Amino acid sequence: MQVTETLTEGLKHEFQISVPASDIGAKADARLVDLKDKVRLNGFRPGKVPVSHLKKVYGRSVMAETVEQTIRETNSQIFTERGFKLATEPKVTLPTEENAVDDILTGKSDLTYTVYIEVVPPIQLADFKSFSVEKPVAEVTDADLEDALKRLAEQNRKYSAKADGATAETGDRVTINFTGSIDGTPFEGGTGEGIQVVIGTGQFIPGFEDQLVGIASGETRLVKASFPKVYGNLKLAGKDAEFETMATAVEAPQEVTIDDDFAKAVGLESFDKLKDAVRQRMTAEFAETSRQRVKRVLLDRLDEAHQFEAPPSLVEEEFKQVWGSLLHEMGTTGRSFADEGTTEDESEAEYRKIADRRVRLGLVMSEIGEKNKITVTDDEVNRAVIDRARSMPGREKEVWDHYRNNPNALAELRAPIYEQKVVDFILELANVTEKKVTREELFKEDEEKKSAT
């Protein structure tokens, strides 16, 4: 066998390989001898078929299988000897001319082909004991609990119909049907029926709810309002609109007392049980947010500590995915690069950096897990499937079947579990210090991101 490296360019390698026809022929003959005791042909007793006859009947197909097996084994030997860890599947190029292919399959010429690969570079892992990470920690205060109970009460507030002819006031709930138009032309998404609006809560665009004050059930009004200049749908952003609006019901809010009766109404035994449940939920929410904040900091540290060339094909694949998602979102919302304060070229460059970072971090996480024998068990994946099924009441079997019959979907569940286990492993080694913060400080970053979008 002859192996000649014809390309060495960073992580890209290409080899020209030649395997003697005699080697291929010997393997094929051995395969035919093995078939002798297994095949049955008319006119021959079991195990008595001459190899020469088998060669006439199966020779070409056996040679094709032998060539395929030889390529796999030869490639594996070449990559192993050189210590290559492949980033992508090898790209094998065989002769395509009919005569050349026929000569190989009939044993008249050597097997020659080229194989192109991209490899993962050696990754020198950082000393995670040198990492210092600050973990923001917030306790659920009595004030936080009181605010949460008030929000829960507001979400469960009941309304009762006002007397005939009574008009709506701020805080009342009005059920409306409406048809919106811009410059006299109805627009997509501008109609609704049976929509409940609590006046003063800001559910609708600015100015809409204020004009419902004083409306009575059965009354129709022309409500004029303008869409904000910064709006999800650019086709509507900043536009003046009119809504032909009819009120079908006007209801006044009932007083809500947060006591044992209220707790029972939401499915708990007592007010104390309600407080405990809300506090536990908030504590878990705070802990998860704290965990995510630490994880983001840790990923930044990993990125800074592991700068290396990522396999170009993996980066390009990741870029196509994130760039495609961006273009789809912009197409859906009608936003342009100019609306985002950038250009397509600048945005593309930024997203290529994001793709490069994701690929490198993925390779680093994989290397950490491999070297430290971090794995995800089937039980952990099954628990994740069960949790996902429980989150969709009434569709549990559908969800379960989806994951059971879809390996790609299971892989999507397995990946974040693996990532979190690697993160936990690093945090056990790193110097993690806790910093007491308020609820507002803990959630500040997430709230700023929401306001930006």
What residue has token string 């397995």? 414
Q: In the predicted model, is pLDDT for residue 220 greater than 80?
A: yes
CA end-to-end distance (rounded Å), the chain:
60
| Cβ-Cβ contacts under 8 Å for 93 (sequence gap 6 or more) | 113, 114, 115, 116
CA dist 316 and 85 (Å) reads: 19
CA dist 9 and 69 (Å) reads: 28
pTM passes above 0.85: no
CB neighbour class for 10 (10 Å; exposed up to 12, middle 13-18, buried from 19)? exposed
What average pLDDT does this structure show over 220-247?
A: 90
Region 268-452: CATH code: 1.10.3120.10
> What residue type is 336 in one-letter code?
S
Element (H, E) at 253: strand 240-253
Question: How are beta strands 431-436 and 132-137 bridged, if at all?
Answer: parallel
Q: What pLDDT score does 50 carry?
A: 65
CA dist 332 and 232 (Å) reads: 9
Alpha helices in 271-395 (DSSP H): 271-305, 312-333, 344-371, 378-390
What residue has token string 């194989």? 115
| Cβ-Cβ contacts under 8 Å for 330 (sequence gap 6 or more) | 336, 337
Lowest-pLDDT range, 37-46, 229-238, 332-341, 378-387? 37-46
What pLDDT digit, counting tens, does each position of 52-90 carry?
A: 666 776 778 888 999 999 999 999 999 999 999 999 999
Q: Fold identical between 2-118 and 268-452? A: no
Strand partners, 182: 185
What pLDDT digit, counting tens, does each position of 287-310 carry?
A: 999 999 999 999 999 999 999 999
What residue has token string 């490296």? 5
Domain ranges of the chain: 2-118, 157-255, 268-452
Q: Which CATH architecture has domain 157-255?
A: Roll (3.10)
What pLDDT digit, counting tens, does each position of 343-367 carry?
A: 999 999 999 999 999 999 999 999 9
The answer to whether the CB of 294 falls within 8 A of the CB of 137 is no
What pLDDT digit, counting tens, does each position of 263-278 carry?
A: 998 899 999 999 999 9
Q: In the predicted model, is pLDDT for residue 323 greater than 70?
A: yes
What average pLDDT does this structure show over 249-266?
A: 92
CA dist 114 and 93 (Å) reads: 5
What pLDDT digit, counting tens, does each position of 182-194 carry?
A: 999 999 889 999 9
What average pLDDT does this structure show over 202-208?
A: 91
- Tell the CATH superfamily of the 2-118 domain: Trigger factor ribosome-binding domain (3.30.70.1050)
The answer to whether the CB of 165 falls within 8 A of the CB of 218 is no
Q: What pLDDT score does 12 carry?
A: 95
What pLDDT digit, counting tens, does each position of 120-175 carry?
A: 999 999 999 999 999 999 999 999 999 999 999 988 999 999 999 999 999 999 99
CA dist 348 and 355 (Å) reads: 10
